[in-house]
A and B are shown apart, each in its own frame.
Chain A
Amino acid sequence: MRKLMGSSSSYNTPCAACKFLRRKCMPDCIFAPYFPPEEPQKFANVHKIFGASNVTKLLSELLPHQREDAVNSMAYEAEARVRDPVYGCVGAISYLQRQVQRLQKELYAINADLLNYACSEIHQTAERATAPSLPLGGSSLVRSVAPPQGGPLPSVDLCSGSNVSNEVGGGGGGGGGGEGGDFYHFTGLPLHVYPLPWNGDSSRNSLITINEGGNGKYVSNGEKGHPI
């Protein structure tokens, strides 16, 4: 009768952590539930950035139901740091903040345009209401307005009646601070955005590389700015 030999647990495949650390994977291995052997890179990144003992310490301070999310967030940070050794996740935060500010500016601009056109319409309606006469037999819908002179439609300030620029200067719908707010100002460096680990496929490798100059290049087939 042959005994089963081998240092690893006889019937279970060692987890990615124990494989990486070349040690026996015990039944109560703290890493085993979170670092399956099919994802060796996950532990490799976490080990490189945080270190196995630090991860053990962090996990042991958490309740069991919190550990999976903690491991996934650490894996996310570690991957970000491996890809971008200088800024890591902070680069992604900065990029997303700029996106938010840009969208808020656009929203502000479109709301201002809507208001301008609405004011213009109200103003013209008021003018028509005081028009001297309507064509005989015409309906109230007939209007005698001059054709547009060309160029952008001038907006009319309801109070002053003077033409104001249709451009919304600055926008500034975003909230406080300048570019990047309280975070870092990154210029001229590639920025990366990654899908979050617990709301999608964590093994998906979507990556968007964007240059500060705006010459963006989409390098993967994932979704852009993947929302939750």
Chain B
Amino acid sequence: MNSTRCAACKYLRKKCPPDCIFSPLFPASDPQRFAHIHRIYGAGNIARMLQKLPAHLRAQAAESLSFEARCRIEDPVYGCVKIISQLQQEIFMAQSQLAKTLAQFQVFCNSLSIADPQFQHAAEASSSFIDQGPRSNHL
């Protein structure tokens, strides 16, 4: 038996066995972390999810679950999905701004190339860049 119980077993008020699945992931030093996860997902669900994963991935899974649980407690309606929503909005605005700037760039280069042939290749480059679209869309 583990003389120092993990945060999960302390919270659940039970003995912490040597093969406790929570023990490496929820140390006693951070009781709040398990409390959040338990409140949102429940100990049984968490144990089941972690059990299905290979041991070397459980720490990352516990971290991401802990993060999502914290977000859900702070925002019971939207949770971490609000962050996704905000990021998608930022992407949309950045893409719009990029398209606008590229169009301005092309206009600028075209006007320069008309007045000065040495800017012709810059105008052609910006035109092909606009046709290609922003590089981030090419996945």
Chain A interfacial positions (CB closer than 8 Å to B): 48-51, 53-54, 58, 61-62, 66, 69-70, 73-74, 76-77, 81, 85-93, 96-97, 99-100, 102-104, 106-107, 110-111, 113-114, 117-118, 121, 124, 141, 143, 145, 147-148, 153, 183-184, 196-197, 199, 208, 210, 214, 216-218, 224-228
In the complex, chain A residues whose CB is within 8 Å of the CB of B78 = 69-70, 73
A-B CB pair tally, cutoff 8 Å: 169
Chain B interfacial positions (CB closer than 8 Å to A): 40-42, 44-45, 49, 52-53, 57, 60-61, 63-65, 67-68, 72, 76-85, 87-92, 94-95, 97-98, 101-102, 104-105, 108-109, 112, 115-119, 121-122, 134-139
Rounded to whole Å, the gap between the CB of A218 and the closest CB of chain B is 7
Most B-side CB within 10 Å, residue of A48, A183, A196: A196
**Sampled A-B contacts (20; CB under 8 Å):** A54-B42, A58-B40, A70-B78, A77-B68, A77-B79, A85-B52, A86-B53, A89-B68, A89-B80, A97-B87, A106-B135, A110-B98, A114-B104, A117-B108, A118-B108, A148-B121, A196-B88, A208-B139, A224-B139, A225-B88
A165 to B136, CA, bound (A): 24
A70 to B76, CA, bound (A): 7
Contact present for B116 and A50 (CB under 8 Å): no
Contact present for A54 and B85 (CB under 8 Å): no
Contact present for A86 and B92 (CB under 8 Å): no
A58 to B129, CA, bound (A): 49
Q: Of the candidates A76, A145, A228, which one forms a contact with B116 in the assembled complex, judged by CB atoms under 8 Å apart?
A: A145
Given A93-B80, A145-B116, A103 and B40 touching (CB < 8 A)? no
Among residues of B, the one whose C-beta sits closest to the C-beta of A70 is B77
Closest 8 CB pairs of A and B: A216-B139, A227-B92, A96-B87, A103-B94, A90-B64, A73-B81, A102-B136, A148-B118
A199 to B115, CA, bound (A): 47
A97 to B88, CA, bound (A): 9
In the complex, chain B residues whose CB is within 8 Å of the CB of A88 = 64-65, 68
Q: Of the candidates A54, A97, A114, A147, which one forms a contact with B108 in the assembled complex, judged by CB atoms under 8 Å apart?
A: A114
Contact present for B67 and A90 (CB under 8 Å): yes
Q: Of the candidates B82, B91, B98, which one forms a contact with A96 in the assembled complex, judged by CB atoms under 8 Å apart?
A: B91
In the complex, chain A residues whose CB is within 8 Å of the CB of B57 = 86
In the complex, chain B residues whose CB is within 8 Å of the CB of A197 = 81
In the complex, chain A residues whose CB is within 8 Å of the CB of B68 = 77, 88-90
In the complex, chain A residues whose CB is within 8 Å of the CB of B76 = 58, 61-62, 66, 70
In the complex, chain B residues whose CB is within 8 Å of the CB of A208 = 139
A143 to B114, CA, bound (A): 12
Contact present for A224 and B60 (CB under 8 Å): no
